[in-house]
């Protein structure tokens, strides 16, 4: 038996909390989800058999009949509803159910080729193995070789592959090495007992030791097979680069030869890792070695980080040299054009600075807008006129989307919409994008703009979604309404049912604990999960939380946004302790240690400019990115002291 990630992923269809049954369809769907067939029959009689959403009711009849369901009925369902995402959903459920019940003939009947997800692929190939398909064991080996845990549904096909030697000691050792690189010691410990009687057992023990204490790499036995020893040396240097970057560099320079670390590819890989941590941590004692390594070995990501390090340290003389080593496409990006302009300005060449900022200001993004502010020029939105034809033909999927949204089923509507996008050409996608904007389906409009790659049609990418709700919350909490709207656009693309892997919910991606805390502080009833997902509640709680962060950081939106993404405590640690070490706003944003948070702050501030410029009462598009006090204040802890 195994737990199924597929069932969890399909929970939106399979099991929803009770909803108000205001319509016959809602009553029927609620009954079907709860296997209440008597109530479903009564509701069905009122709906008739040709209701546009009949596929959802039929889906649950099939779902409830698993695993005894004849697989031909799954095929018949697909033929009856060919323009719907539901046939694929029932196939997934059927494969899981048949595999659990060991109905291998039925399991093979529901898919003609291997599905995408790891869990379903394992089940598919296990079913094929039961029919004697030898390719199944080759596929099992490919699925096995991962540094991350695999679903328990994969265990049977893995066991079969191990019993027949397709997964042997070498594959177990290789997977332990992959797990080391993925920082997954739990998986390493799980795999280790599989090598008890193996020639790899000693190496496996050393691999675990190196993860806990990489300095033991100097104690590695000389009599280990060289291929194993090379892997262990590479792993040890990689781990030491993380735990003690300076020592890793010293040993890499001075002890590599004595240790016999000679595999050229692994040596290169270890050196790149030491260079990476030397760069992002700004290890001063490693600087000479690092710069020489980069000149000889390069690597775009490393060079990018080295140029960023020059910005953080405000080494304006050396910055242009590092940027010059980047690919031309990177050098032409507004980010590096802006920083080259800053370096030119600091080095006294105002004419060159202006020329570089002119180039950067042509791009519609954070650094393009920063450059425009430096020049005192308006932002260039590059806004294209929508080209979608609003006279769409009658599309059954579009009718279902409309009905599902009316029935308060945004998740099901979202699935239907995505299916429709994937099965439409670019012209139809553009037509649908405009239709969604006109209908007020803001999340679907954004999704359509992405599918159509309509990057310049800002009416589709940045609709003024839930404008009245954001304005009401802004009045209540003394906020600029465009700022929480920009957060929602970044967090969820306005999809109200958005759920992150860590549990954040709704438009503004609130963690349940945060939502409860904000509610208690406001003297309001503590909301449940479904209430947090409701747009009015989510916007109100998210806006209040943003207002609290702005108060905590003395109205500085840069710091408040960083805290919204990464947490207030981290932001306080990122501020300089001494005012002499404080840096300007642009440098502080570039110095944010988390790549995600850097991108988040830049995106939200940029989106806010776009929303105000597109939908505000004024057509002013100048100096909207940063407030004067945000631009002019050096960033240190003094900013948040009372």
Examine the pLDDT at 13 and tell me if it is beyond 80. Answer: no
- Distant-in-sequence contacts of 562-568, Cβ < 8 A, 24+ apart: 562/592, 562/597, 562/600, 562/601, 564/487, 564/600, 565/594, 565/596, 565/597, 565/600, 565/601, 566/594, 566/596, 566/597
Whole-number Å distance between alpha carbons of 498 and 503: 10
With 0-12 CB in 10 A as exposed, 13-18 as middle and 19+ as buried, what is 347?
A: middle
Spatial CA neighbour of 627 closest among 555, 526, 547, 537:
555
In terms of domains, do 145 and 273 share one?
Answer: no
- Tens-place pLDDT, residues 175-192: 999 999 999 999 999 999
In terms of domains, do 24 and 62 share one?
Answer: yes
Spatial CA neighbour of 393 closest among 446, 431, 450:
431
Residue 593 belongs to domain with CATH number: 1.10.530.10
Domain end residue (candidates: 128, 163, 198):
163
Domain end residue (candidates: 266, 298, 330):
298
In terms of domains, do 457 and 489 share one?
Answer: no
Examine the pLDDT at 15 and tell me if it is beyond 80. Answer: no
* SS3 state of residue 88: helix
Whole-number Å distance between alpha carbons of 614 and 462: 8
Domain that holds residue 184: 169-298
The tokens for 232 are: 């262990």
Could you give the number of structural domains in the chain?
A: 4
Q: Residues 461, 477: contact at Cβ < 8 Å?
A: no
Domain end residue (candidates: 246, 264, 298):
298
Three-class DSSP labels, 489-500: HHHHCCCCCCEC
pLDDT band at 512 (very low <50, low <70, confident <90, very high): very high
In terms of domains, do 451 and 473 share one?
Answer: no
- Tens-place pLDDT, residues 381-391: 999 988 755 67
Q: Decide if 546 is inside a domain.
A: yes
- Tens-place pLDDT, residues 552-582: 999 999 999 999 999 999 999 999 999 899 9
Examine the pLDDT at 1 and tell me if it is beyond 50. Answer: no
Mean pLDDT of the chain: 94
Number of H helices, E strands in the chain: 40, 0
Q: Residues 316, 347: contact at Cβ < 8 Å?
A: yes
Whole-number Å distance between alpha carbons of 209 and 192: 12
Q: Which residues contact 532 (CB under 8 A, 6 or more apart)?
A: 505, 506, 510, 512, 515, 538, 541
Whole-model pTM: value is 0.94
The tokens for 526 are: 């503590």
- Tens-place pLDDT, residues 521-537: 989 888 999 999 999 99
Q: Decide if 412 is inside a domain.
A: yes
Q: Decide if 332 is inside a domain.
A: no
Q: Decide if 359 is inside a domain.
A: no
- Per-residue pLDDT, averaged over 230-249, amounts to 98
- First and final C-alpha spacing in the chain: 59
Residue 457 belongs to domain with CATH number: 1.10.1240.20
In terms of domains, do 288 and 211 share one?
Answer: yes
**What one-character-per-residue DSSP string does 288-323 give?**
HHHHHHHHHH--HHHHHHHHHHHHHTT-TTTHHHHH
Q: Decide if 620 is inside a domain.
A: yes
In terms of domains, do 538 and 488 share one?
Answer: yes
Q: Identify the residue whose tokens are 């990630």.
A: 5
Residue 82 belongs to domain with CATH number: 1.25.20.10
Q: Identify the residue whose tokens are 């100097």.
A: 218
Positions marked active-site? 491
- Per-residue pLDDT, averaged over 30-46, amounts to 93
In terms of domains, do 475 and 453 share one?
Answer: no
- Tens-place pLDDT, residues 200-223: 999 999 999 999 999 999 999 999
Q: Decide if 313 is inside a domain.
A: no
In terms of domains, do 457 and 478 share one?
Answer: no
**What one-character-per-residue DSSP string does 150-162 give?**
--GGGHHHHHHHH
The tokens for 28 are: 């029927």
Q: Decide if 606 is inside a domain.
A: yes
In terms of domains, do 506 and 629 share one?
Answer: yes
In terms of domains, do 38 and 181 share one?
Answer: no
In terms of domains, do 124 and 202 share one?
Answer: no
With 0-12 CB in 10 A as exposed, 13-18 as middle and 19+ as buried, what is 44?
A: buried
Scanning 298-425, the segments in alpha helix (DSSP H) are 300-312, 319-324, 328-331, 334-346, 350-360, 366-375, 396-406, 410-422
In terms of domains, do 264 and 184 share one?
Answer: yes
Q: Decide if 223 is inside a domain.
A: yes
């Amino acid at each position: 038996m195994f737990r199924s990630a597929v069932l969890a992923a399909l929970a939106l269809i399979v099991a929803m909390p009770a909803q108000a049954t205001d319509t016959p369809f809602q009553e029927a769907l609620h009954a079907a989800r709860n296997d209440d067939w008597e109530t479903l029959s009564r509701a069905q009689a009122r709906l008739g058999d040709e209701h546009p959403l009949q596929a959802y009711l039929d889906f649950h009849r099939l779902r409830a009949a698993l695993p005894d369901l004849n697989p031909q009925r799954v095929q018949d369902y697909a033929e009856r509803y060919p323009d719907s995402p539901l046939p694929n959903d029932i196939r997934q459920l059927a494969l899981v159910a048949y595999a659990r019940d060991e109905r291998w003939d039925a399991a093979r009947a529901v898919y003609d080729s291997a599905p995408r997800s790891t869990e379903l692929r394992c089940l598919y190939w296990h079913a094929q193995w039961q029919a004697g398909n030898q390719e199944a064991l080759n596929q099992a080996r490919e699925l096995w070789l991962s540094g991350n845990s695999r679903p328990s549904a994969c265990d049977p096909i893995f066991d079969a592959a191990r019993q027949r030697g397709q997964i042997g000691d070498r594959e177990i050792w290789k997977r332990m090495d992959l797990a080391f690189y993925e920082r997954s010691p739990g998986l390493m410990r799980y795999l280790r007992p599989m090598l008890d009687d193996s020639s790899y057992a000693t190496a496996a023990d050393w691999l675990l030791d190196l993860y806990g204490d990489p300095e033991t790499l100097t104690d590695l036995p000389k009599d280990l097979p060289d291929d194993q020893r090379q892997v262990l040396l590479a792993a040890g240097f990689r781990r030491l680069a993380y735990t003690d970057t300076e020592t890793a560099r010293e040993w890499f320079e001075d002890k590599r030869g004595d240790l016999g670390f000679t595999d050229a590819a692994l040596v290169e890989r270890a050196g790149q890792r030491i260079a990476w941590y030397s760069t992002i941590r700004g290890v001063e004692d490693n600087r000479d070695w690092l710069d020489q390594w980069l000149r000889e070995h390069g690597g775009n990501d490393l060079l990018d980080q080295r140029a960023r390090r020059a910005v953080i340290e405000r080494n304006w003389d050396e910055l242009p040299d590092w940027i010059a080593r980047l690919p031309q496409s990177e050098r032409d990006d507004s980010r590096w054009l802006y920083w080259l302009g800053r370096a030119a300005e600091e080095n006294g060449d105002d004419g060159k600075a202006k020329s570089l900022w002119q180039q950067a200001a042509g791009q519609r993004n954070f650094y393009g807008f920063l450059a425009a502010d430096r020049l005192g020029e308006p932002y260039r939105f590059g806004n294209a006129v929508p080209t979608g034809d609003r006279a769409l033909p009658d599309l059954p999927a579009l009718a279902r989307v409309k009905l599902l949204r009316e029935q308060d089923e945004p998740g099901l509507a979202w699935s239907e919409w995505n299916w429709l996008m994937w099965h439409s050409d670019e012209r139809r996608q553009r037509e649908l994008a405009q239709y969604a904007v006109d209908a007020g389906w803001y999340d679907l409009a954004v999704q359509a703009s992405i599918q159509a790659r309509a990057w310049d049609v800002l009416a589709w990418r940045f609709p003024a979604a839930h404008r009245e709700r954001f304005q009401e919350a802004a009045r209540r909490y003394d906020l600029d309404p465009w700022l929480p709207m920009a957060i929602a656009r970044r967090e969820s693309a306005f999809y109200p049912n958005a759920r992150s892997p860590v549990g954040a919910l709704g438009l503004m991606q609130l963690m349940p604990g945060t939502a409860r805390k904000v509610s208690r502080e406001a003297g309001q009833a503590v909301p449940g999960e479904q209430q947090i997902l409701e747009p009015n509640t989510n916007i109100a709680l998210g806006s209040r939380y943003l207002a609290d962060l702005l108060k905590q950081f003395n109205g500085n939106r840069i710091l408040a946004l960083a805290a919204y993404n990464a947490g207030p405590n981290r932001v306080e640690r990122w501020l300089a302790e001494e005012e002499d070490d404080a840096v300007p706003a642009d440098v502080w944003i570039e110095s944010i240690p988390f790549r995600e948070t850097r991108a988040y702050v830049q995106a939200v501030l940029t989106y806010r400019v776009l929303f105000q410029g597109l939908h505000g009462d004024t057509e002013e598009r100048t100096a909207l990115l940063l407030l004067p006090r945000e631009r002019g204040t050096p960033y240190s802890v003094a900013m948040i002291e009372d």
